[in-house]
A and B are shown apart, each in its own frame.
Chain A
Amino acid sequence: MSAKHAVLGLLQQRAAYPYELGDRLQARLGPAWAINSGQLSQTIKVLEREGLIEQVARGRGDRNVFAITESGTRELERWWDEDEAPEIRLLRRSLLLKLALAGPDQLKDALGQVERYEHRCAERIKAIMETRDRVPLDGIQVRAEDMVLRMGLSGDIYQLEAELKWARYAHQVVMWLLERGAVWPERSTGSAKQVEASRDAREELFGRMAARDRDQPFDPEGR
């Protein structure tokens, strides 16, 4: 998990109170990096046990100051040299499961769900875009940390855009099923027979076309 290296990295820049690290991460990289205090103290504990960080000053209550150790620095270097693979885990969308389990009678309801999902994707995109718009871009001097933050937020936006694209596709599929009367499993209907008739006709016509020889012109009155 990247939280470990995030904390190590920040502590390498300067010793700090753990509690401020969560906020710093989110401010620098975007909302995906929000780490709650529970996760944070867990991470600190693990890092300390592994000897990668150490306590350098004692404060009141939780306010102990931590710094990176030599082996922590080595771990950071090892991590830096690792090649990164795209960290996309294929989603198990709960909405997809609902659509799969829905029968023809629930399609209208499903359409409502898909529409609300689209709406929420769009809202989240908008919210992150607004955050990104507040990151300064003008001025003669470009601040590297602003650029990195924009880069992080753009990644979040693109990911949500892909989700919105899927939701729009899902919308079309449900509309399609609503309007056209698809063949449903466990419901043998006339349309299944028609699909079969079409397939047979296609096989025959296409087979004849494939067999058409180069020197044998099409005979419009054939057969």
Chain B
Amino acid sequence: MLLHVERVTKRYPRPTGEKIALDDVSLTVDRGQILGIFGPSGSGKSTLLRVAAGLLSPDSGSVIYNGERLDSMSSTERSRFRRREIACVWSGALIPDGLSVVDHVAVPLLIDSRDHRAAERRAREALLACEVEHCSDLQMEALSDGERERASIARALATEPRLLLADGPASRLSLIEQEQIMVLLASLAEDAKVAVLVTDSNADALLRCDPVLYLNEGKFASSAQPVQLGRVYPFPARPAQSAADA
């Protein structure tokens, strides 16, 4: 397995005590797999993704990526590792004004390289692959929500990661755009063999994810038997033949 989150707990200090954002949570996701997590606002989805990305250290438990423990690396080592392996899409994240779309997508590439031409070529390729190439030379703020989401995914893809963490990428989109984004992410898993972890507050949006897990108050509703889309309506036990027949 590519990513293994093992019994992670994360607390945030609060004036009134502490808030347990993640309570002994485990999950694994493999290359070629797209795993969906849904749950209400405040259920711990974003915290889980930040922990999985190595951006946030858990209070206990571990994050194992391809056999290596992310949480025991030095921060420099971890940053470098993350840039090579993991990409994140934070929905509604602040995007600096004044960057063209192609520059925005090329930024992660330029951290480790000075070859601007190669970076631009890769950025344009990623934009084309995500069907927003026509926006390449616009300013980021000129894009619609759907285009911006695609550009964010293109930015994540430009570094050719093996793990993609997407926090609510479909959450502000129309139903059709939601479906299109999920089809793109599913194709990333299936065709690019990326391990994809995607969240949303609505289970219906997590089309094509398997399994779909329900996170509530920092816990999976049932860690042994994850709720799966298409099995959201559990079958009641088949009734025994009526008592009269017995």
Q: Is A194 an interface residue (CB 8 A)?
A: yes
Query: Is B128 touching A201 in the complex (CB atoms < 8 A)?
Result: yes
Q: How far is the CB of A202 from chain B (nearest CB, A)?
A: 4
Contact residues in B for A198 (Cβ distance below 8 Å): 128-131, 133
Partner of B125, one of A201, A210, A212, A218: A201
State whether A220 and B174 are in contact (beta carbons under 8 Å apart), knowing that A202-B187, A205-B129, A210-B193 are contacts in the complex: no
Count of chain A residues with a beta carbon within 8 Å of a chain B beta carbon: 27
Give Cα A81–Cα B46 distance, bound, in whole angstroms: 51
Give Cα A222–Cα B118 distance, bound, in whole angstroms: 8
* B interface: dominant SS: helix
Query: Is B174 touching A205 in the complex (CB atoms < 8 A)?
Result: no
Report, as a range, how many residues of chain B touch the other chain.
20 to 34
Give Cα A218–Cα B161 distance, bound, in whole angstroms: 8
Give Cα A176–Cα B176 distance, bound, in whole angstroms: 8
Query: Is A172 touching B174 in the complex (CB atoms < 8 A)?
Result: yes
Which residue of chain A lies nearest to B119 when distances are taken between CB atoms in the complex? A220
Contact residues in B for A61 (Cβ distance below 8 Å): none
Q: Is B115 an interface residue (CB 8 A)?
A: yes
Q: Is B162 an interface residue (CB 8 A)?
A: yes
Which residue of chain A lies nearest to B115 when distances are taken between CB atoms in the complex? A221
Contact residues in A for B193 (Cβ distance below 8 Å): 209-210, 212
Q: Is B97 an interface residue (CB 8 A)?
A: no
Query: Is B174 touching A176 in the complex (CB atoms < 8 A)?
Result: yes
Contact residues in A for B174 (Cβ distance below 8 Å): 172, 176
Q: Is B73 an interface residue (CB 8 A)?
A: no
Query: Is B162 touching A220 in the complex (CB atoms < 8 A)?
Result: no
State whether A208 and B160 are in contact (beta carbons under 8 Å apart), knowing that A198-B131, A198-B133, A221-B118 are contacts in the complex: yes
Query: Is A169 touching B175 in the complex (CB atoms < 8 A)?
Result: yes
Contact residues in B for A168 (Cβ distance below 8 Å): 175
Contact residues in A for B118 (Cβ distance below 8 Å): 220-223
Give Cα A206–Cα B157 distance, bound, in whole angstroms: 9
Give Cα A63–Cα B116 distance, bound, in whole angstroms: 93
Which residue of chain A lies nearest to B131 when distances are taken between CB atoms in the complex? A198
Give Cα A210–Cα B188 distance, bound, in whole angstroms: 9
Contact residues in A for B160 (Cβ distance below 8 Å): 205, 208-209, 212, 218
Q: How far is the CB of B86 from chain A (nearest CB, A)?
A: 11
Q: Is B182 an interface residue (CB 8 A)?
A: no
Q: A205-B157, A207-B191, A210-B191 are in contact. List 11 more A-B contacts (CB 8 A).
A: A194-B134, A197-B133, A198-B130, A204-B125, A204-B129, A205-B129, A206-B192, A209-B157, A209-B160, A218-B160, A221-B115
Residues of B within 8 A of A (CB): 66, 84, 109, 112-113, 115, 118-119, 121, 125-126, 128-131, 133-134, 157, 159-162, 174-176, 187-188, 191-194
4 nearest A-B residue pairs (beta carbon): A206-B192, A220-B113, A209-B192, A201-B128
5 A-B Cβ contacts within 8 A?
Answer: A176-B174, A197-B133, A205-B125, A205-B160, A210-B192
